[in-house]
Structure 1
């Protein structure tokens, strides 16, 4: 067995640790550090107070105790947006706090591998590109949302008030406007937007790390089969056959450890996956509904609507597709095993084929659904049905 000092540095674990450490200054909670912890607690209580206020005003609107402008669907969106931020904050806190144990388990698996797996030298670069891309697109989308909320002709002196009243009309009216109220709302709107994008980014990055390990295992299987095919024409003695069987046994055990790692990560990430997919599904439906009901408007609003909807769909699809790669790569070695020549076939290869065929490995939304590629078609059908319900309900 390799010692800790002999194990090569895992680029994925190092990169994700840097991202988690940097994210705590954006309002995403991180265990350790009094300043960051205090900031997280303050944001949590502020989100809790804002969400209770939004729900209370929604109840007053439904009960007819207050006059609120906008459709029924528009009244719900604000409460759901900040409700997602509140739960995302709590679930992100829980997951990042558990990441120390998960990363330790991840490192132990790397050390325990008797088979020398090829290193994924590009994982850090891919993670950095994805993080920068998500941050850039989220920033551009949010800037456009601020421009669309006030219009391009808003006087600079009135911009802040106009933005708050336009984007948070479900929460504050013109006669209730006060700078001491507007500034915290403005701050929390940015935090909620960051949390929304960060929860999807976190799922994507963790999925990339798990997929990378499966890719390395599959590459090792391919390399072993190629080596055995090359030696297959030569006669083999008992010790050589025994060594081959032991190699395949170690590979099979590596796949067992990898499947256990996926399930352990899924146990901590499942609630965040469920929240992310439900929230993305609702806001895709909402954006489509608002686009159908508001065909006319200033050019900046139409540009924002198109780009916002495109970014939301792209991000939601990316979460599903990148996470679905875990399930796809968990079975990628099967064609290689089926193509094994008879002269290299042994009992451990047979066991590995059975294991990969019948062991369903995927990350799930708290066991309610698995993230695989067919989920996209199911979600598309749900969006179509829900859109018809929204149109009928909002009449």
Structure 2
């Protein structure tokens, strides 16, 4: 494969900087922008790759025998054990719509680890293909988009990461505070309150295994790592969408600038633009093929937890911190899901911009290449999909918003005749 080499990119950047101001983030490949995120994800057992920080994806390696992969196996096995123990516990006490949420959470986490492990095997080839195709967008005649790729990737990662950490801290604070008040007001006496806390909050584990502090720490670590991969699914799709959107914007900027400078362009110019558009469509198709299972799992995950949270929206809670966590978690989940959908749907939006630009083409300049270009835009669905079941478009997003509003109205109507949300006594 003719991969665009790092030294060539250095030469191009040197040549470009003569005419274009050198600014941080200009002429960055997608691999360079996203590799720091993948590097930090490896500390949680996600995407176990070697040399991921190197600028050339040809040096990135996936090895079945590595310390990174050993960590992934450890998280996978421990997650599987906890999921089995939780299923066993539910079969003993009875399965309801409310008590299965933890089982679904750990199962989704386990599937995510497995899917990212499969993606890690293909990632070096995928990034080599991506860089080979996007290399022409890293130097003139393409200029950098007004939005910086590295900056947007880092900013998005930091914002979602901080919100995820805060949401997890709120969860821990809510459960610990509730436990503290119960122990205090109910005058619960115990020689080991840490043990009491874990046996009460993780009965599915300690009803089958003897308690010890090491096991408690392992559960806490698993809870944190599962929360990470639960958020990382959405973040990863968002970053892929940002990378694709930037390249389509570059093509649109070049086309608009050229038509404003001189609309009387030869047919060869429109042919070059059309072929570059096809190149971007090829990158999109490759990414969509390799990530389809992750995209589907992410959508199912968000759908389930939003519906679950909406089901509990009228559930009475005991303390203000419980309400604070619930609403923060719900708003964060809905906001993250909405941002994912809107960012992914932006790919289709920017891919249709050439239609508006070419609509102003003088009649004497109109040619067969323009007809072919517009035909491809109108006939191809240029968007990420979930295994072809649906595509990320704004139309689908607003349809889903309407569906959730309908679900909420049904829940409100059901809540008027239900008393399932009444709180049990604090001291039993």
TM-score, normalisation: structure 2: 0.80
1:276 to 282, 285, 298: 298
**Corresponding residue SS for 1:29:** coil
C-alpha contact 2:85 2:208 (8 A) present in aligned 1: no
Label 1:145 to 1:343 Cα distance change in 2 as closer, same or farther (>3 A): same
The answer to whether the 8 A contact 2:45-2:69 is kept is no
Which sections of structure 1, spanning at least 5 residues, go unmatched? 63-70, 233-240
Shift of 1:126: 1.0
Answer 1 or 2: which has greater helix percent: 1
> Partner of 1:137 in structure 2?
163
Q: Which ranges in structure 2 are unaligned for 5 or more consecutive residues?
A: 13-26, 51-62, 185-190, 421-428
The aligned counterpart of 1:291 is 313
Q: Distance in 2 between matches of 1:94 and 1:289?
A: 34
Once the two structures are superposed, what CA deviation does each residue of 1:34-62 show, in whole Å capped at 9, x if it has no partner? 22111111111111111122222223333
Q: Distance in 2 between matches of 1:109 and 1:144?
A: 44
Return the alpha-carbon distance in structure 2 between the equivalents of residues 317 and 117 of structure 1.
31
Q: Corresponding residue for 1:332?
A: 353
State the Cα distance separating 1:320 from its structure 2 match.
0.6
In structure 1, the residue matched to 2:213 is: 179
Contact 1:88/1:199 (8 A) holds in 2: yes
Tell me the TM-score normalised to structure 1 length: 0.86
Residues 159, 127 of structure 1: CA spacing in aligned structure 2 closer, same or farther, 3 A cutoff? Answer: farther
* C-alpha distance in structure 2 between counterparts of 1:11 and 1:274, whole Å: 26
Cα displacement (A) at 1:381: 3.7
CA contact (8 A) 2:348 2:393 kept: yes
**Structure 1 position 181, deviation (Å):** 3.5
Residue in structure 1 matched with residue 227 of structure 2 by the alignment: 193
Residue 282 of structure 1 aligns to a residue in which SS? helix
**Equivalent of 1:354, from 358, 372, 375?**
375
Instruction: Determine the structure 2 residue equivalent to 1:380.
Output: 401
Which stretch has the larger CA shift, 168-177 or 186-195?
Answer: 168-177
Contact 1:84–1:279 (CA under 8 A) maintained in structure 2 = yes
Q: Does 1:149 align with 2:183?
A: no
Say which is worse superposed, 169-178 or 307-316, in terms of deviation: 169-178
What secondary structure does 2:313 align onto? helix
Q: 1:15 to 1:139 in 2, by over 3 A?
A: same
C-alpha distance in 2, partners of 1:269/1:353?
Answer: 28
1:46 aligns with 2:46: no
Query: Which one of the candidate residues 92, 95, 105 is aligned to 1:60?
Result: 92
Q: Take 1:88 and 1:99, find their aligned partners in 2: how far apart are those partners?
A: 16
Cα displacement (A) at 1:330: 1.2
Query: Which residue in the other structure is 1:238 paired with?
Result: none
How far apart, CA to CA, are the structure 1 residues paired with 2:126 and 2:113?
A: 19
* Residue of structure 2 equivalent to 1:82: 106
Contact 2:385 2:392 in 1 (8 A): yes
> Is 1:314 the counterpart of 2:348 in the alignment?
no
Which residue does the alignment assign to 1:235?
none
Q: Deviations over 1:63-119 (max 9, x none)?
A: xxxxxxxx8122210110001000111111222332211111111113356972212
How far is 1:366 from its partner? 1.0
> How far apart in 2 are the matches of 1:289 and 1:255?
44
2:302 and 2:333 in contact (8 A); partners too:
yes
TM-aligned CA deviation for residue 373 of structure 1: 1.3
Cα displacement (A) at 1:165:
4.3
- Say how many residue pairs are matched: 374
Distance in 2 (CA, whole Å) between partners of 1:346 and 1:212 is: 28
